[in-house]
Structure 1
Amino acid sequence: MNICLYGSGSRKIDKIYTDEAYTLGGMIAENNHRLVFGGGDTGMMGACAKGVHDNGGKSIGIAPEWIGEFEPLCKDCSEFIYVNSMDERKQEFLNNSDAFIISPGGIGTLDEFFEIITLKKLKRHDCPIIIFNINHFYDTMLKMIDEMDEKGFLYKAEQLYDIATNSDEIFEHLNSDNDDKQ
């Protein structure tokens, strides 16, 4: 399975987050899955990729070449896909992924999350989406989404995502979703 990780590339992230991202990367490799990510070498992306690579796993980095002006790119990727724009990047994430994990991140991560969840709602894909709510990072956003639903702004006929607080829970959701499809 190709597992796409959305997450920050910031170097300022507390170790509680990057340690968990590294653990997730190790589990992706140990379960013979492949990481698909934005190709960054730092932050959540870099920590997860390092966990994958340190455990003999494979990864696909996807980024415009100019992103290197803002953050260093991972040199250890098994494959790297260069695109021209952030829109093309998100399309390549979708084209190359079987599941999506939304780890803690900033504006770019939120953009990716809301697009992938909207596309699922519009039935453009049926991949599992898991919000990686490390240390309650996404509690406020989840509360906002619940309030939007309660006030009638959303049509939540079905569950569009799952929530996990650690790497073990992510794999419980992925395995459960895989069992449901068989």
Structure 2
Amino acid sequence: MATQSIVVYCGSSPGTNPIYKEIAVELGEKMAARNIRLIYGGGGFGLMGNVADAVLQNDGEVTGVIPNFLADLEVAHNTLTELHFVETMHERKYKMVQLAKGVIALPGGYGTLDELFEILAWRQLKLFDGPICIINVDGYYDLMLLQLDRMVTDGFLKEENRALLSVASSVEEALKLTESYWDNIT
């Protein structure tokens, strides 16, 4: 049985750079090796499917949470350890975070950014108390990070709230940052 759990936000498509899939697979493999349960959106395609498959192929545990209306559209992954069906996207995001002790984001689109910024807002408001980290593979999040810095400079984001987002350049670094956070709160 897994000792910890991490929500992974990422694309339901693979993207155009093969390194994205490599990172998703590596994250899944290393989560399984560390006995960390994957909590994710429940889809079977793209980076979502890659990370889930890698956890499962390495005898790890995976919990998916998918809205009923997306189950067919995203084709729900049917071989997960556990799969929850919910009615809305909001319920999906809330359920995933309820089940997890941390968040890691890989590259993705609007959905990934929506989830990432919502959990950062929840952390800022103390509605979630866990580490939040992005894996900035191949500079994917460089421009977003510049925007966050601009928000601080222009007085819309406090430095301490900007610091709620950890940035890793590798899977290993992201997992170490997450585990270090856990170690410091227990």
* Pairwise TM-score range, normalised by the shorter structure: over 0.9
| Aligned with 2:38 (options 35, 40, 45) | 35
CA distance in 2, matches of 1:68, 1:79: 14
Decide whether the 8 Å contact of 2:103 with 2:133 is kept in 1: yes
Match of 1:103?
Answer: 106
1:176 to 163, 166, 180: 180
Listed one character per residue, the Cα deviations across residues 33-89 of structure 1 (whole Å, up to 9, x for unaligned) are 100000111111111101101100001000012213432221221000100000100
Work out the CA distance in 2 between the residues paired with 1:136 and 1:151: 24
What residue is the counterpart of 1:56 in the other structure? 59
Quote the sequence identity (%).
Answer: 35
Q: Which runs of 4+ in 1 moved over 6 A?
A: none
- After the TM superposition, which residues 33-182 of structure 1 pair with which residues of structure 2 at under 5 Å, given as runs? 33-158=36-161, 159-182=163-186
Deviation (angstroms), 1:12 = 4.3
Decide whether aligned partners of structure 1 residues 59 and 154 sit closer, same or farther in structure 2, where only a CA change above 3 A counts.
same
TM-score by length of 1: 0.96
Question: Could you tell me how far apart the structure 2 residues matched to 1:12 and 1:160 are?
Answer: 27
The SS at the match of 2:85 is: strand
SS in 2 for 1:157: helix
Aligned to 1:21: 24
Deviation at 1:165, TM superposition (A): 1.5
Is the alpha carbon distance of 1:175 and 1:12 closer, same or farther for their aligned partners in structure 2, counting shifts above 3 Å?
closer
C-alpha displacement of 1:13? 3.9
SS of residue matched to 2:159: coil
Give the aligned CA root-mean-square deviation in angstroms: 1.2
Residue 93 of structure 1 deviates from its aligned partner by 1.1
Q: Could you tell me which amino acid in structure 2 is paired with residue 178 of structure 1?
A: W
Please, what TM-score do these two structures have when normalized by structure 2?
A: 0.94
How many residue pairs end up in the alignment? 182
Compute the displacement of 1:157 (Å).
2.6
Q: Which runs of 5+ in 2 are unaligned?
A: none
Tell me, in whole angstroms, the C-alpha distance in 1 between the residues paired with 2:7 and 2:153. 30
1:5-42 per-position Cα deviation (integer Å, ceiling 9, x unaligned): 00111144422101110010011111011000001111
* C-alpha distance in 2 between matches for 1:12 and 1:18: 8
Distance 1:13 1:46 in 2: 16
